């Protein structure tokens, strides 16, 4: 008896020795601020991440492309780090779901001094409770957590697209503000030329002071617009830093390439792209996984109607006159007489209906968003064509007026006004191009096509390392 008891206690101690232990990892707000302020596009870890994903890191002084900036955001952006952590938690839940219930052992010492010829009055009966799950409950739990992990993975993909969209939008705003400021500076020069000529003519009485006032108002308006464009440029740099997950000073002296923002691809307007998006958008797939999880949850609650079995073998040594070894085999079942788990089943059924309704709402919203973005982009392309035609006409007129002035048929003021009109046309065309690029961005976000962000790009976002080594698990 003593040997068996010692063996059981030794087994318990060995089992407890393999348990996990807690290791504190405190967070210091001051330290995290310092780490954030130290982030840079020249970080060796970032450059290694770029190279690991087959993207050449820019050399000092070289311009950063949209693709390189997107990977930098995948490396630094805290929203992605949070989404990755949620995915890890969802996957870890599968471990819990797959665990089988542990058996338990009961030791119930007793004392009886009245047993004849018993060498000790102490009795130490042992009993074991060995639970056995029935009706496939473990399989349903595993299926439920698998689908929830799939939903978390698609939520991560959705966050990846949001991060990429924010980087592109900020880069586009940066390009728009810089180009606008440059064009308005040229327009200021042209309007100053017009104002100078008008002031000369009003001195000799050729024009009225009203025209001079109008020209001065137009010049001042352009100056204000240029100053506003300069302010938008600074704000766009702040927005880009936020989208990347770096401090604004990390972008000091950094050059950017705007080449992808000057083209208008039509491949996303193909019908097959729309069909693919309606089935594979991140929110659609996430809602579908949530519905599958609700199905598994309902199966689990239905299985919970059936009681688990508890085997309870026991042993006791009768050291009295008989000297017997006493064994018993216990069997425990919960009797489903007061309820058959109706409440959780009803709730699971309602949750399945809710998940189905949510899926339909998400897919319907996706259809509307894709169709709206597609129509907006196609309309924007038509506006670009119209703006190009208008600018060509203004350019021909400018050339014609310049030739007439050189021939002495028109006054130089006419050429100055034609130059102002041409510059205004250039500015209008830029505005149309920027709006078309925004429409393209909305279409890219709506269809979430691999033509825009490849599977390797998504994988890079999912597997990006933690930017700050101190917070690694």
Mean pLDDT of 19-48: 89
pLDDT of residue 466: 63
- pTM equals 0.87
In a domain, 251, yes or no: yes
The residue-averaged pLDDT of 263-292 equals: 95
Is pLDDT at 123 greater than 80 in this prediction? Answer: no
pLDDT for residue 339: 86
Strand partners, 110: 123
> Looking at residues 270-283, what average pLDDT do you find?
95
Domain assignment present for residue 300? The answer is: yes
pLDDT of residue 221: 94
Whether residue 16 is contained in a domain is answered as no
CA distance 112 to 118: 9
For residue 323, what pLDDT is reported?
55
Residue 320 has pLDDT above 60, yes or no: no
What pLDDT shows up at residue 13?
Answer: 55
269 within 8 A of 451, measured Cβ to Cβ: no
Are 313 and 329 a contacting pair, CB within 8 Å? yes
Span 117-126, average pLDDT: 71
185 sits in which H/E element: helix 137-203
Of 32-46, 313-327, 446-460, the range with the lowest mean pLDDT is 313-327
Q: Rounded to an integer, what is the distance from CA 373 to the centroid of its chain?
A: 20
User: Rounded distance, CA 26 to CA 471, Å?
Assistant: 9
Give the pLDDT score at 70. 96
Q: Is residue 245 classed as helix, strand or coil in its secondary structure? A: coil
Residue 455 lies in a domain: no
Residue 119 lies in a domain: yes
Give dist(CA 355, CA 292) in Å, integer: 9
Name the band, by pLDDT with cuts 50, 70 and 90, for residue 189: very high
Q: What's the pLDDT band for 7 if we cut at 50, 70, 90?
A: low
* pLDDT of the residue at 336: 82
Q: How many domains does the chain have?
A: 1
What is the per-residue pLDDT for 155? 96
Q: Is residue 195 part of a domain?
A: yes
| Residue positions counted in the chain | 473
Please state, for a pLDDT cut of 70, what percent of the chain lies above it. 90
Largest Cα span, the chain? 141
Instruction: Give yes or no for residue 281 having a pLDDT over 50.
Output: yes
Q: Let me know if residue 437 belongs to a domain.
A: yes
DSSP state of 431: H
| Pairing, β 126-132 against β 104-107 | antiparallel
Q: Judge contact between 283 and 362, C-beta under 8 A.
A: yes
Domain that includes residue 92, residue range: 39-450
HSE, side-chain direction, 13 A CA sphere, residue 343:
2
pLDDT at res. 330: 82
- DSSP-based three-state secondary structure for 123: strand
- Per-residue model confidence as pLDDT tens digits over 71-110: 999 999 999 999 999 999 999 999 999 999 889 888 877 7
State residue 10's pLDDT score. Answer: 56
pLDDT (tens digit per residue) in 332-381: 888 888 888 899 999 999 999 999 999 999 999 999 999 999 999 999 99
Name the band, by pLDDT with cuts 50, 70 and 90, for residue 200.
confident
Burial class (CB in 10 A: 0-12, 13-18, 19+), 46: buried
Mean pLDDT in the chain? 89
**pLDDT tens, residue by residue, 230-260:** 999 999 999 999 999 999 999 998 999 999 9
The tokens describing 122, both together, are 């102490």
The CATH code of the domain that includes 329 is 1.20.1600.10
Return the sign of the alpha-carbon dihedral for residues 44, 50, 55, 60: negative
469 is a domain residue: no
What is the pLDDT confidence band of residue 468, given thresholds at 50, 70 and 90?
A: low
Report the share of the chain in percent with pLDDT over 90. Answer: 68
């Amino acid at each position: 008896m003593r040997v068996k008891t010692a063996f059981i206690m030794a087994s318990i101690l060995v089992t407890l020795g393999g348990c996990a232990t807690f290791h504190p990892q405190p967070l210091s707000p001051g330290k995290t601020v310092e780490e954030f302020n130290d982030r840079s596009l020249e970080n060796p870890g970032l450059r290694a991440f770029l190279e690991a994903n087959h993207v050449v890191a820019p050399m000092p002084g070289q311009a950063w492309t949209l693709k390189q900036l997107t990977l930098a955001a995948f490396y630094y952006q805290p929203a992605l780090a949070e989404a990755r952590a949620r995915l890890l938690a969802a996957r870890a839940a599968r471990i819990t779901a797959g665990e089988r219930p542990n058996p338990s052992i009961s030791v119930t010492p007793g004392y009886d001094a009245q047993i004849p010829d018993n060498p000790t009055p102490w009795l130490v009966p042992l009993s074991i409770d060995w639970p056995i799950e029935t009706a496939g409950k473990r399989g349903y739990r595993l299926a439920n957590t698998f689908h929830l992990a799939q939903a978390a993975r698609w939520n991560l993909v959705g966050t990846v697209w949001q991060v990429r969209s924010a980087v592109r939008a900020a880069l586009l705003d940066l390009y728009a503000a810089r180009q606008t400021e440059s064009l308005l500076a040229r327009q200021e020069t042209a309007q100053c030329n017009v104002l100078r000529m008008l002031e000369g003519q009003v001195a000799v009485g050729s024009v009225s002071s009203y025209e001079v006032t109008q020209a001065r108002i137009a010049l001042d308006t352009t100056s204000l617009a240029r100053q506003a464009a300069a302010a938008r440029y600074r704000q766009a740099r702040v927005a880009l830093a936020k989208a990347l997950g770096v401090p604004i000073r990390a972008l000091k002296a950094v050059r950017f390439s705007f080449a992808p923002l000057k083209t208008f691809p039509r491949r996303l307007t193909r019908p097959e792209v729309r069909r693919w998006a309606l089935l594979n958008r991140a929110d659609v797939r996430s809602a579908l996984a949530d519905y599958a999880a609700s199905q598994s949850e309902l199966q689990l609650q239905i299985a919970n109607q059936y009681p688990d079995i508890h085997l309870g073998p026991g042993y006791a040594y009768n050291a009295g006159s008989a000297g017997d070894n006493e064994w018993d085999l216990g069997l425990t079942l919960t009797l489903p007489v007061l309820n058959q788990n109706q409440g959780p089943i009803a709730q699971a059924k309602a949750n399945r209906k809710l998940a189905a309704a949510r899926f339909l709402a998400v897919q319907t919203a996706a259809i509307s968003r894709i169709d709206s973005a597609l129509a907006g982009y196609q309309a924007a392309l038509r506006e670009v064509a119209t703006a190009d035609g208008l600018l060509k006409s203004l350019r021909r007129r400018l050339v014609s007026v310049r030739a007439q002035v050189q021939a002495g048929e028109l006054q130089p003021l006419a050429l100055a006004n034609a130059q102002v009109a041409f510059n205004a046309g250039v500015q209008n065309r830029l505005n149309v191009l920027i709006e078309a690029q925004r429409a393209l961005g909305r279409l890219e976000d709506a269809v979430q096509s691999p033509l825009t962000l490849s599977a390797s790009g998504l994988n890079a976002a999912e597997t990006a390392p933690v930017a700050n080594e101190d917070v690694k698990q």
